[in-house]
C-alpha cells in the first residue's frame, strides 16, 4: 500500500499546472489563469497560490509580467550546469598534486593584459601537476598579481582549487569566476609535463577570477590530458525541474 503523503497545497497547485503545461493544455506563450482564478479553483488564498507560482517560475515554466499575467515560457535546452574543480582531477588521491613552481615573475604582455596590471607590476606564478591514478593528467598554471607583504605559502596552496588559492593570497573572496573551455595542441612544455607527444590534443580550461570591486585577481589555465579528463554537464532546465519532485 502506498504511503499517503499530504502534499502542501502550494505544491499541488504548482504540480497541477506543470502537468497541464507538459501535456500541452497550456502552451508556451499562453497566459495561465490569473491568481484570483487559481485561488477560487484550488480554494486557496492568494499567498498560497503565489507560493506555487513562484515554484513554477523558478523551475523555468513561467514568465511573469506585472499587470498582465503569468505566461508559459519556452523551454531552454541550451543552458547547462557544469562542475569544474581542478583538484577533483586527482580523485583526492594522496600525492595527487605536485607543486612544481611558485615564483615572482615579470609578466608577459598577455598575462599583464589578463590581470590588468599596472606598469612595473609583477605576478606570482604557480605551476602544479595533477595526477590521476598515478599518471600526470593535468598541468595547471595560475597567475596572481604580486602584492608586497602578501606571501604565498607553498604548503597552503598545493592542494586547493584556484579560488581558494587567491583567497589565501590576498582577497577574501572571488565573487565571479569566468571559465573558457577549448581544445588545443600540446606545446613543448605541456607535452613534457604530461608525458604526451607534442601537438597531442588537450582540453584547456581557462579561469579568470574577479573581486567584489571587479578587479581581476587571478588568471590561469589547466591543460588536461584528454584521456583522463572530460567535463560533464546537464541541462539546467532539467535540474531546476527537480524542485517539482520534492514531495
Partner DNA sequence: GAGTGGTCTAGACCACCCC
Partner DNA sequence: GGGTGGTCTAGACCACTCG
Residues at the interface with a second copy (CB under 8 A): 22, 24, 47, 54, 58, 75, 77-85, 88, 161-164, 172-185, 199-204, 212, 224, 226, 229-238, 241
143 DSSP β-pair partners: 125, 219
Q: Least distance from C-beta 63 to DNA, angstroms?
A: 10
CA–CA separation, 141 vs 219, rounded Å? Answer: 9
For DNA, the closer of residues 93 and 243 by Cβ is 243
Subset of residues 195 to 224 that bind DNA, contact rule: CB under 7 A: none
Picked from a second copy, DNA, none, the partner binding residue 203 (CB below 5 to 8 A depending on kind) is a second copy
Element (H, E) at 97: strand 97-105
SS3 of residue 201 by DSSP: strand
CA–CA separation, 17 vs 30, rounded Å? Answer: 12
Q: Does 67 bind DNA (CB under 7 A)?
A: yes
For a second copy, the closer of residues 121 and 158 by Cβ is 158
Q: Does 9 bind DNA (CB under 7 A)?
A: yes
Q: Does 29 bind DNA (CB under 7 A)?
A: no
Q: Report yes or no: 69 and 53 within 8 Å, Cβ to Cβ.
A: no
Picked from DNA, a second copy, none, the partner binding residue 116 (CB below 5 to 8 A depending on kind) is none
Q: Does 64 bind DNA (CB under 7 A)?
A: yes
Q: Does 41 bind DNA (CB under 7 A)?
A: no
Picked from DNA, a second copy, none, the partner binding residue 9 (CB below 5 to 8 A depending on kind) is DNA
Q: Long-range contacts made by residues 64-71, C-beta under 8 angstroms, separation at least 24?
A: 68/31, 69/31, 69/32, 69/34, 70/31, 70/32, 70/34, 71/29, 71/30, 71/31, 71/32
Question: Considering only 63-71, 111-119, 180-188, 211-219, which stretch makes contact with DNA by CB under 7 A?
Answer: 63-71
C-alpha cell at 192: 613534457
Q: Indicate the DSSP class of residue 119.
A: T
Among 16, 69, 75, 170, binds DNA (CB under 7 A): 69
Q: Least distance from C-beta 25 to DNA, angstroms?
A: 17
- Using DSSP bridges, classify how beta strands 97-105 and 176-185 pair: parallel, antiparallel or unpaired: unpaired
Picked from a second copy, DNA, none, the partner binding residue 161 (CB below 5 to 8 A depending on kind) is a second copy
- The site for DNA, by CB under 7 A, has a size of 24
Residue 113 has phi, psi (to 5 degrees) of -70, -45
Picked from a second copy, DNA, none, the partner binding residue 45 (CB below 5 to 8 A depending on kind) is DNA
Within 13 Å, how many C-alpha atoms sit on residue 97's CB side?
21
Amino acid at each position: 500500500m502506498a504511503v499517503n503523503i499530504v502534499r502542501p497545497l502550494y505544491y499541488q497547485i504548482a504540480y497541477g499546472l506543470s502537468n497541464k503545461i507538459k501535456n500541452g493544455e497550456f502552451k508556451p506563450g499562453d497566459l495561465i489563469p490569473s491568481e484570483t482564478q487559481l485561488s477560487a479553483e484550488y480554494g486557496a488564498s492568494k499567498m498560497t497560490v503565489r507560493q506555487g507560482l513562484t515554484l513554477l517560475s523558478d523551475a523555468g515554466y513561467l514568465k511573469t509580467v506585472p499587470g498582465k499575467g503569468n505566461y508559459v515560457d519556452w523551454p531552454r535546452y541550451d543552458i547547462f550546469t557544469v562542475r569544474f574543480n581542478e583538484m577533483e582531477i586527482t580523485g583526492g588521491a594522496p600525492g595527487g598534486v605536485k607543486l612544481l613552481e611558485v615564483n615572482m615573475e615579470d609578466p608577459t604582455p598577455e598575462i599583464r593584459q589578463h590581470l590588468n596590471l599596472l606598469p612595473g607590476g609583477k605576478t606570482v606564478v604557480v605551476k602544479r601537476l595533477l595526477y590521476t591514478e598515478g599518471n600526470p593528467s593535468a598541468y595547471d598554471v595560475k597567475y596572481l598579481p604580486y602584492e608586497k607583504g602578501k606571501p604565498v605559502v607553498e604548503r597552503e596552496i598545493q592542494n586547493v582549487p584556484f579560488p581558494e588559492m587567491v583567497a589565501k593570497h590576498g582577497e577574501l573572496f572571488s565573487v565571479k569566476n569566468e571559465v573558457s573551455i577549448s581544445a588545443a595542441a600540446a606545446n613543448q612544455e605541456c607535452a613534457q609535463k604530461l608525458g604526451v607527444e607534442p601537438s597531442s590534443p588537450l582540453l584547456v580550461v581557462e579561469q579568470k577570477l574577479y573581486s567584489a570591486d571587479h578587479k581581476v585577481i587571478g588568471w590561469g589555465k589547466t591543460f588536461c590530458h584528454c584521456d583522463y579528463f572530460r567535463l560533464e554537464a546537464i541541462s539546467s532546465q532539467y535540474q531546476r525541474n527537480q524542485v517539482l519532485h520534492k514531495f
